[in-house]
Every structure is written in structure tokens, then in C-alpha cells.
Amino acid sequence: MNKKILCLALFSAMGAAQAVMAQDFDDRWYIDGTAGYNFQDKSRSTENAPFGGIGVGKPISPDWSLELNWNYQNPKETNNIPSFSGHWQQYDLELDALYHFHVDDKWNPYVRFGLGWQHTEEDYSLFSNIYVPETRKSDNLAAAFGVGLERNYGRYSFRTEFGARYDGNDRSINSPNSNYFVDLLASIGVTVALGPPPMKAVEPAPAPAPVVTCADKDSDGDGVNDCNDKCPNTPAGTTVGPDGCPVPVTIDLRGVNFDFDKSKLRPDAVEILGQAIEVLKKYPELKVEVAGHTDSIGTDAYNQKLSERRAKAVYDYLTSNGVDAGRLIGPHGYGKTRPIAPNTNPDGTDNPQGRAQNRRTELNVQN
């Protein structure tokens, strides 16, 4: 019963390997054959002998594989009984785990760890000086450890291995005081993979490069795509309109000047403001600051208030003629702080023409 349970456990463990999902390595089942030489534990009173084995295995990961191996040996006994011709034989069924150190796709060093069941049959004589044959059979635990080197040739692989096997036999006739034996084993072997080689993983085709059109390009970096840019190659830092063409940073309202100490628009300013309104309508994305200025006559506080009133006059005119107030920043007054012409001549005398130019409003582009 114990032998049946042990065999069932070994085969179940091998079957579990089949449930492992396919990976990017060769996971084919394979059979292996082994021939070698067993250097017997001398306390067992048996001679060194050859052994052979056969097995089945399966890789369960890139580094690990499992094997179920059966091997047999039949060494001679060393005894002094005249005409004694009995035999001594041993069978081993073992589940091995192999860990592989892949040097490259050809050479594969590995280590082996095994655990299994070992059946031993020993012929002996009931009497020490006369041959009266009898056989003792024993079943016990066995364990193995080995190091090996494998050379891969695709479907076939060749191995050479050296290791040791623990034999838990504590009922040996030839060595009744021993509880276990350790044999050394040297072997060569071959494995044959079963079935076709696994399909190599196919790399997915790269996604096609996105189609880039002029709508996705802005070659001159002015913020207007090439499809809509009517003025390509605009110098960096140039303020452009929605069509990519340069627009003035300040919309020129020269001519929209005020009488001295006044904030009321003069009739001659209407035509100029009309032109400014057309510019703003042509470029609906533009936002402008409405700024008012004065000449240098008067106190700072007075000129500040006067410049604000002048900016407000232009602001009201623009909004009353269809310009969205959301596009206008201000109105802001700057007093006499930003002249565009000298208020006095070099000799210090008054410069009426310069002061007239400073009494102005401006539309300063903000984007």
C-alpha cells in the first residue's frame, strides 16, 4: 500500500507540471536515458557496478524542470561463502527537480535534487558456511543530489553528471548496523524532446505612425498652424494675428488727440477710430488695452484723472460701435508718465507740437 501511495504522489507531481501555462521557453515533454557507474558505499559489501535508467521530464519555467526517473543496478556482493551465487539488485523511482544555469542557448549547467522510493533485493545464506539461499526485500526512502552539464542540439540534448544518492535502507543483511548508505554516481545521458518546437512569440506590429498634416504643424512657432498661417517663417517673438501675419503691438490711433485740458473726442478722431474698429473686427482674437495719456502741463494727480477720462472716451466709442467689451482691458490712464514726443524744446521753452502728440490714446495689443 505504501508503494502505491508513493508512486501515485510522484506521478501526480509530474502531472501538475502540465497545468503550467505556456511561457516563452521550450516547455515540451521529453524522455531521457542514462547510463553510468555507481561507486557503492563499501559498508554495504557490494562491488561498484554500472547502472542504467530511463525517465520523462518537462520544463515548468525557464529555470526549472521536473523529471520522473527509474533506474536499475545489479552489483556483485563481496562475501566469503564458498559457492555462494546469490544476487543483489536495486530499483529506484525518483522525482527530480533540476535548476538550470543557462550560459547561452547551447550550454546549460544544472543541479539536481531528487526524492523517491528504492526497492532492494538481497540474496543471502541462512548459514555462514553452507549455501542455503534466502532473499530479503526492502523498500525505503531515497534522496539524490547531483551537478551536471547539458549541451543542447535542439530536439536532442546530451548530459554528463556527477552526484550522490542517499539510501535509507536500515535492514541490510550485509551491514545490519548501518541505518543508511551513500553511493556516488557518474553518468552520461541523452534527452529527446517530444512534439514540435513551441511557436516563438511574435512581436506585435508597431502601431502606424500618426498622419501629420499641416493642421498639426506650426513651423515658425507663432501659435498658428501651417494650414492657417498666411505668413510662414515669421520671426520668433513677432506678434501675429489669427492668420499668422504680424500685427502691430500698438494699434496706431495717431490723430486721435485731444484739445488742451479736454477729454472729448474731436470730430477728426472718428475716422481714425473707425479704422481701428475694422482692425479689431478683422482679428477677433485680439485683446487690447485702452490707454490714455496727457502732456506735461499740470500736476501729476490732475493729469492722471485727465488721462483716465480720455481713455474712457475711446473705450465708450469702441463698445458703442460693436467691439465686445470683453476684448478691451481698461480703460487705463497713465497721466504724463509716457510721452512719445518732447514736451519742451532743448532750450527749455514750451513745445506745443510735442505736447499735442502726447495728448493721445493708444490700443496696446495684449496677446
H-helix or E-strand containing 30? strand 30-39
Name residue, grid cell 474731436: 266
Which pLDDT band holds residue 11 (cuts at 50, 70, 90)? Answer: very low
Q: Which fold has domain 2-193?
A: Porin (2.40.160)
Own/partner pairs for 272-279, CB < 8 Å, 24+ apart?
273/314, 273/317, 273/318, 273/321, 274/321, 276/251, 276/318, 276/363, 277/318, 277/321, 277/322, 277/323, 279/247, 279/251
Structure confidence at residue 32 (pLDDT)? 96
Report, in angstroms and rounded to the nearest whole number, the Rg of the chain calculated over CA atoms. Answer: 51
| Residue range(s) in the chain whose domain bears CATH number 3.30.1330.60 | 247-365
Structure confidence at residue 16 (pLDDT)? 43
Structure confidence at residue 247 (pLDDT)? 61
Question: pLDDT tens-digit profile of 237-292?
Answer: 676 766 778 765 567 676 676 666 777 777 777 788 888 888 888 888 888 899 98
How far apart are alpha carbons 339 and 178 in whole angstroms? Answer: 116
What is the pLDDT averaged over residues 48-67?
Answer: 94
pLDDT reading at 86 higher than 70: no
Give the closest residue to 70 by CA, choosing from 12, 146, 171, 142.
Answer: 142
What is the pLDDT averaged over residues 27-54?
Answer: 92
Structure confidence at residue 254 (pLDDT)? 65
Q: Is the dihedral of CA 358, 268, 332, 308 positive or negative?
A: positive
| Residue range(s) in the chain whose domain bears CATH number 2.40.160.20 | 2-193
What is the pLDDT averaged over residues 92-105?
Answer: 92
- Alpha carbon 289 to chain centroid distance? 51
Which residues partner with 125 through β-bridges? 133
Q: Where is mean pLDDT largest: 187-196, 292-301, 317-326, 346-355?
A: 187-196
pTM score over 0.85: no
Residue count (the chain): 367
As given in the structure block, the three cell numbers for residue 99 are 535548476
How far apart are alpha carbons 223 and 285 in whole angstroms? Answer: 12
Structure confidence at residue 59 (pLDDT)? 94
Q: Where is mean pLDDT largest: 178-192, 197-211, 248-262?
A: 178-192
292 burial via Cβ count (<10 Å: 0-12, 13-18, 19+):
buried
Question: pLDDT tens-digit profile of 114-138?
Answer: 999 999 888 776 666 666 677 888 8
Give the closest residue to 83 by CA, choosing from 132, 47, 49, 136.
Answer: 132
pLDDT reading at 13 higher than 70: no
Structure confidence at residue 175 (pLDDT)? 79
Mean pLDDT, the chain, as a whole number? 83
How far apart are alpha carbons 24 and 199 in whole angstroms? Answer: 9
Query: CA 58 → CA 18, 26, 129, 350, distances in Å?
Result: 8, 9, 52, 107
Least confident range from 10-24, 58-72, 108-122, 300-314: namely 10-24
Helix (H, G, I), strand (E, B) or coil at 110: strand
What is the pLDDT averaged over residues 84-97?
Answer: 83
- What is the share, in percent, of the chain residues with pLDDT greater than 70? 83
CATH code reported for the domain at 247-365: 3.30.1330.60
H-helix or E-strand containing 80? none
DSSP string, 157-203: EEEEEEEEEEE-----SS-TT-S-EEEEEEEEEEEEE-SSPPPPPPP
Q: Please report, as a single letter, which amino acid is at residue 91.
A: Y
How far apart are alpha carbons 269 and 253 in whole angstroms? Answer: 8
pLDDT reading at 162 higher than 80: yes
What is the pLDDT averaged over residues 147-166?
Answer: 95
Q: Is the dihedral of CA 164, 75, 88, 91 positive or negative?
A: positive
Which pLDDT band holds residue 103 (cuts at 50, 70, 90)? Answer: confident
How far apart are alpha carbons 105 and 366 in whole angstroms? Answer: 68
Structure confidence at residue 79 (pLDDT)? 59
How far apart are alpha carbons 350 and 358 in whole angstroms? Answer: 13
Structure confidence at residue 129 (pLDDT)? 64
H-helix or E-strand containing 259? none
